């Protein structure tokens, strides 16, 4: 394919695990500043798709282009450096460090051969920490130990740690799992805010939440795309009702 304006262009992507195709000739195109939600039954291949995009799993075939650069066979850390951030289902914050320190160690240039915790904080880093903390709603808690945060606040901190790297594509796998109603509401607002400057792919099951945040919805089933479009379109799609929403 020739150059496009898509931030992410996936074509004929396939991955087999011992002959089982977890992703099967899948095509997906994400626009700049788009918030795409991926839904689908358990085992549909949603998490595997994110694993392929971030380089954790290697494709058996097909192509993944990020800003027109082939990343299909790029090393995981290089994909991060290129501008792709990915949050896993379980948070990976430093519980015994403050919110401030957690953000500080996530600043991309901060890592030296002596380890992440040893570098001097420049005014640029401090400014970024405050901007990110404000964005994730944790500014008043900058000096609180991360282990003392609520479950939802820990999730936001981890999103903040990804934002420190200023990704152009941010991918979140089930970000509101285990959150209270109020935390889900605040997360919807947070995601709407942060996609003004970047593209996002969010995997989620909570349809009320999906309706609130999605620009477009992709429904996956058996490693393929079953339906794609507006929330109303996919919710009224007979195939989608049959394999997913009807249960
Ligand atoms: P989802 O996130 O949509 O629930 P997954 O992407 O986790 O689905 O899984 C899709 C399918 O691929 C499942 O059948 C799962 O068991 C299988 N699978 C995922 N990762 C691996 C792996 N590393 N090795 C073998 N099978 C895998
Ligand atoms: Mg999954």
How far is residue 147's CA from residue 176's CA, in Å, rounded to a whole number? 18
The answer to whether the CB of 152 falls within 8 A of the CB of 183 is: yes
Look at the pTM and tell me if it is higher than 0.95.
Answer: no
CATH number for the domain that contains residue 239: 3.40.50.300
Q: Which atom of ligand 1 sits closest to the CA of residue 44?
A: 3
Q: Name the token pair of 102.
A: 């957690």
* Ligand 1 atom closest to Cα of residue 45: 6
Q: How do residues 198-225 score in pLDDT, each as one tens digit? A: 999 999 999 999 999 999 999 999 999 9
Find the radius of gyration of the CA atoms of the chain: 18
Residue 66: closest CA among 5, 8, 2: 8
Is 166 domain-assigned? yes
| Residue with CA at minimum distance from ligand 1 atom 16 | 43
Q: How far, in Å, CA of 187 to CA of 183, rounded?
A: 6
- Cβ < 6 A, ligand 1 pocket: 17, 22, 40, 42-48
Pairing of strands 169-173, 199-203: parallel
Angle between helices 181-194 and 151-163 (to 10 degrees): 10
State the distance from the centre of ligand 1 to the C-alpha of 23, rounded, in angstroms. 9
Range 71-88 average pLDDT: 94
Whole domain around residue 86: which residue ranges?
34-55+77-245
* Domain annotation covers residue 45: yes
Distance 97 CA to ligand 1 centre (A): 33
Domain membership of residue 139 (yes or no) is yes
28 in a structural domain: no
| Domain contains 64 | no
Q: Which pLDDT does position 108 carry in this prediction?
A: 84
110: pLDDT confidence band, cut at 50, 70 and 90?
Answer: very low
User: What's the pLDDT at 120?
Assistant: 61
Does any domain span residue 192? yes
Task: Give domain status of residue 67, yes or no.
Answer: no
Please count the structural domains in the chain. Answer: 1
* Position 99 in a domain: yes
Q: Whose CA is nearest to atom 5 of ligand 1?
A: 45
In 3D space, the residue among 43, 8, 14, 44 whose CA is nearest the CA of residue 28 turns out to be 8
Tens digits of per-residue pLDDT, 66-79? Answer: 999 999 999 999 99
Q: How confident is the model at residue 109 (pLDDT cuts 50, 70, 90)?
A: low
Among protein residues, the one whose CA lies closest to atom 15 of ligand 1: 43
Residue nearest ligand 1's atom 7 by CA? 47
Rounded to the nearest angstrom, the distance between the alpha carbon of 203 and the centre of ligand 2 is 8
Q: How far is the CA of 197 from the centre of ligand 1 (A)?
A: 31
Q: Give burial (CB, 10 Å; 0-12/13-18/19+) of 232.
A: exposed
Q: Are strands 84-87 and 216-221 parallel, antiparallel or unpaired?
A: unpaired
């Amino acid at each position: 394919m020739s150059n496009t304006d898509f931030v992410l262009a996936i074509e004929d992507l396939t991955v087999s695990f011992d002959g089982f195709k977890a992703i099967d000739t899948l095509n997906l195109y994400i626009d700049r500043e788009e918030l795409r939600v991926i839904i689908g039954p358990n085992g549909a291949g949603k998490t595997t798709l994110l694993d392929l995009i971030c380089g954790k799993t290697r494709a058996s075939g097909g192509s993944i282009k990020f800003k027109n650069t082939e990343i299909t066979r790029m090393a995981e850390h290089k994909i991060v450096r290129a501008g792709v951030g990915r949050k896993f289902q379980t948070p990976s914050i430093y519980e015994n460090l403050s919110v401030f320190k957690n953000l500080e160690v996530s600043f991309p240039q901060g890592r030296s051969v002596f380890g992440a915790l040893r570098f001097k904080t420049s005014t640029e880093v401090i400014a970024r920490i405050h901007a990110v903390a404000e964005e994730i709603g944790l500014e008043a808690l900058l000096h609180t130990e991360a282990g003392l945060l609520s479950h939802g606040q820990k999730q936001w901190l981890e999103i903040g740690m990804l934002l420190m790297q200023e990704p152009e594509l941010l991918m979140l796998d089930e970000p509101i799992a285990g959150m209270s109603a109020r935390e889900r509401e605040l997360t919807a607002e947070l995601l709407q805010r942060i996609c003004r400057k970047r593209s996002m792919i969010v995997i989620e099951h909570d349809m009320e939440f999906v309706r609130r945040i999605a620009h477009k919805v992709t429904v996956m089933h058996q490693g393929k795309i079953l339906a794609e479009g507006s929330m109303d379109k996919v919710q009224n799609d007979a195939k989608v009702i049959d394999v997913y929403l009807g249960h």
